[in-house]
Structure formats: C-alpha cells, structure tokens
A and B are shown apart, each in its own frame.
Chain A
Amino acid sequence: MNRYEGKVFRMALVILKDPARAEEVTQDIFLKLWQALPDYDGRASPGTWLYTIARNTCLSASRSDSYRKTVSIDVTAEPAAPWAQSGDMELAQCIDRLPEIQRTVITLFYLEEKCVDEVARMLGMPEGTVKSHLHRARLALAGMMKE
C-alpha cells in the first residue's frame, strides 16, 4: 500500500482535478481492493490489477461527477488541479487547454518523475501510445506558447 497510495492518488487527482475528491476516491479504491482481494487470482501482476481497479473507479467517479455538475463555460476559469498549485499560471492554463488524454499523459509523466512505463501501466496503454500522446502534447504546448 505504501508503494501505491501516492501513485493512485496522483492518478485520481489527474482524472478528477479536485484534491479532496481525489483523496475520497483513493480511499474507495483501496476499499474496493481490500474487498476484491479474495477474488484476486494472480494472473495479472498486483500493480496491473490495482491500476485497473483504480482507473475504472476514477473514470466512473469522473463520469458521475460531471453528470451531477451543471455545465458552465467560463473562459477565465482557474486551471484545474494539480497544475493550479504550480507557480507558472501561463503554463498551467496552456495544459488546461490540451485534449483530455494529452493533459492526463503529460501531467502523469511529470508527476511520476518522467517514467513512461509507469504512466503506461497506470493508464493501461502501450508505452508507444503514451509517448505519442506525450509528443503531441509537447508540440501543442509549444504552439500555444508561441501564440
């Protein structure tokens, strides 16, 4: 648990963009893991199994949150977490404008100390796909900075 709680929290934060909600969902994930432990058959590695449950729980929470929220279009809105905490507001706002998958990949890449294989495991994607999203995100960010 020590090894994974921070990673799961960061994944939840990137998907849900709200620290309090991410922590709540991280608790739900570990609760689900604890309940599902008797059914774990060892076919997938513990990390893969954990990340699958974590990803599905985060996505389901994100869907239910966005369903509950009323849609508001506010172009001057503050950037979402976790970049909202960074001192570089211009960069944070550019990251916010990226497509969801690129934003997720580039954020996790930097949060996970530039480890592509860890991001791939977390998102259940091949490493090549992660790199490709990362490259697109970098090109898009460079383009936005030029504007």
Chain B
Amino acid sequence: MNCEESRQTLLNALAGSISAERQLPVENHLSTCEDCRGFAEVQRMLDVRLTAAVPLVSLSPRFRSSLREKCRHQAIPGWSESLPDIAHLIGCALAIVLLLLVMPQYSRTVLLAGSGFTAVTYFFQAVLRSSLERREA
C-alpha cells in the first residue's frame, strides 16, 4: 500500500465506510511511514475535536403548537365551512322573492333594499366569524 492509498483509506475509515480488515494494511503502512503517521494523527485528532465540538441543536418546545396553528390558518375551507354563507344567501334570496310576490308594485325598491341588506348582513357575519376564530386561536 502506498501513501496515497493509505491516506484515502484512512479518510474513508473516518467517514465510517471501511471494514476493520481493510484497515490492517493501513496500520502496517503507518508503522513504516512517518509522514502518513503524522497525517493519520492530525486527522484522528481533528475527528475527535469535531465530534466533541458538535453542538446539540433542537427545535424549540413551541414548534409543534406553532406549526398546528399555521396549518389551521392554511386549511382550505370545505363546502361545509361555507354552509352559513350559503344559508344566509338562500335566506335573503327567498325573502326578496317573497317580498316581490307580496309587493310587486315596489319591485325596484325591494330589489335594491334586499341586495343592500344581504350585503350588509354578509359583511357583519364575516366580521363576527373572523373575530370568533381569532378568540379561539
């Protein structure tokens, strides 16, 4: 085994990919080559130093709760979550139709007032829902 092969094998051993039996020729080479012995010593010391210095890193305890919160905000609303909106719009539409049937002479006023009422109540409903969601969060 020459110096180049010995150094390569030594580096591979430090990367954890060399069996013990393949390390034997390296040890034999090191016993006869001072340069490679020095190289091996420096590399082994470096490995020990890196292993000792590697910091412990971990996520903060609030990682999961914060992630759950983000997931909840990102959730795509299903049709069931839109049910209050659908019920509100259908209710308003039925009321307008009923008023048009009862007071056909005021159809223009009924349509305008009905649309305005629907929009205003829809807005209040949205504000109320978002404030309730914020309180739950």
Contact = CB atoms under 8 A, between A and B. Distances in A.
Contacts of B56: 85
Contacts of A23: 59-60, 63
A87 B53 contact: yes
B70 A83 contact: no
Interface string A10-43: 1001000001000100110011001100000000
B71 interface: yes
A106 B70 CA distance: 33
Contacts of A35: 74
Contacts of A131: 11-12, 15, 17
Contacts of A110: 50-51, 54
Interface stretch (B24-32, B41-49, B108-116): B41-49
Given A106-B50, A131-B17, A86 B55 contact: yes
A78 interface: no
A20 to B, nearest CB: 9
A81 B54 CA distance: 11
B60 A116 contact: no
Nearest to B52: A88
A86 B50 CA distance: 10
B67 A27 contact: yes
A111 B50 CA distance: 10
A19 B57 contact: yes
B53 A5 contact: no
Nearest to A130: B15
A25 to B, nearest CB: 12
Interface residues of B, number: 29
Which of B42, B55, B58, B60 has the largest number of chain A CB atoms within 10 A?
Answer: B55
B16 interface: yes
B127 interface: no
Contacts of A81: 57
B19 interface: no
A19 B56 CA distance: 12
Interface in A66-87: 81-83, 85-87
Interface in B50-106: 50-60, 63, 66-67, 70-71, 74
B53 A142 contact: no
A110 B49 CA distance: 11
A5 B71 CA distance: 15
Contacts of A142: 42-43, 46
A44 interface: no
B63 A82 contact: no
B126 interface: no
A61 interface: no
A139 to B, nearest CB: 8
